[in-house]
């Protein structure tokens, strides 16, 4: 089993940091109509009750933006993935449909405000550390190309950085062949909603990705 830890460097800057982790076996499908109906329902509920200026005040997003500033990264330029998703939802813009696993991660993210990483465990080498990105770190981000991850919170394995709350790397992305899956909630100080958000994600994984062999844990 992969060991996940948090470096002292990032703890010094963000003392409330913790990671909510869900490991399981999944069945990837190109699409799920039932899941997309659930996504549409949540999107409509958010659009009817939220304005753009309210997004940054969502607890999980507000503390994450503060953490970015403490680390030296501009949260307006390197937007959190959850914030970016919610902005698309509130504006009525289309969400990308990828596969059932990626789509349910997005639903869990914009419904909770947590930025969530989703990784193919078989593509991760060795143990994982959450650390602060340096000028020597780089990766090709999903749908974004090269991403400047210096000063971002980043997940690293023995082959280098592969994930952040802004965007994950192509190297560890979920594909049609993924079976072992790791979901990571980046929590910078909203622990009162983390358990509920993780439980909702587990329900989505069971219902829409036919997941089993669950292991859940919080690194704090």
What CATH number should be reported for the domain holding residue 79?
3.50.40
Residue-wise pLDDT for 126-135, tens only, equals: 999 999 999 9
In a domain, 140, yes or no: no
Specify burial of residue 108 (Cβ count, 10 A radius: 0-12, 13-18, 19+). buried
- Indicate the SS3 state at residue 66: helix
What is the predicted pLDDT for the residue at 94?
86
Q: How many domains does the chain have?
A: 1
Domain that includes residue 56, residue range: 4-119+176-219
Instruction: Give the C-alpha separation, 182 to 71, whole Å.
Output: 25
The C-alpha angle with vertex 40 and arms to 121 and 25, in degrees rounded to 5, equals 20
What is the predicted pLDDT for the residue at 75?
95
- Phi-psi label, residue 24: left if phi above 0, alpha if psi -120 to 50, beta otherwise: beta
In a domain, 64, yes or no: yes
Instruction: Give the C-alpha separation, 72 to 92, whole Å.
Output: 31
In a domain, 129, yes or no: no
Judge whether residue 49 has pLDDT over 90.
yes
The H-or-E segment that residue 18 falls in is strand 18-25
Distance between start and end Cα atoms, the chain: 18
Residue-wise pLDDT for 129-153, tens only, equals: 999 999 988 899 998 888 899 999 9
Residue-wise pLDDT for 168-205, tens only, equals: 999 999 999 999 999 999 999 998 999 999 999 999 99
- Indicate the SS3 state at residue 79: coil
């Amino acid at each position: 089993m992969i060991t996940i830890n948090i470096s002292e460097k990032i703890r010094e800057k963000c003392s409330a940091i913790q990671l909510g982790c869900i490991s399981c076996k999944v069945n990837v499908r190109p699409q799920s109509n039932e899941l997309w109906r659930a996504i549409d329902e949540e999107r409509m509920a958010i659009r009817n009750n939220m304005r753009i200026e309210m997004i940054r005040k969502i607890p999980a997003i507000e503390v994450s933006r503060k953490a970015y500033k403490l680390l030296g990264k501009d949260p307006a330029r390197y937007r959190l993935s959850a914030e970016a998703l919610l902005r698309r939802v509130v504006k009525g813009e289309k969400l990308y449909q990828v596969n059932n696993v990626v789509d349910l991660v997005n639903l869990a993210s914009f419904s909770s405000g947590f930025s969530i990483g989703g990784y193919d465990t078989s593509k991760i080498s060795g143990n994982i550390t959450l650390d602060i990105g340096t000028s020597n770190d780089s990766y090709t981000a999903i749908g974004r190309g090269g991403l400047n991850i210096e000063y971002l919170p980043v997940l690293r394995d023995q082959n280098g950085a592969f994930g952040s709350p802004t965007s994950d790397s192509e190297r560890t992305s979920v594909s049609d062949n993924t079976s072992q899956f790791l979901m990571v909630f980046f929590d910078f100080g909203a622990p009162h909603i983390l358990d509920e958000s993780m439980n909702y994600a587990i329900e989505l994984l069971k219902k829409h990705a036919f997941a089993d062999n669950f292991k859940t844990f919080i690194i704090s």
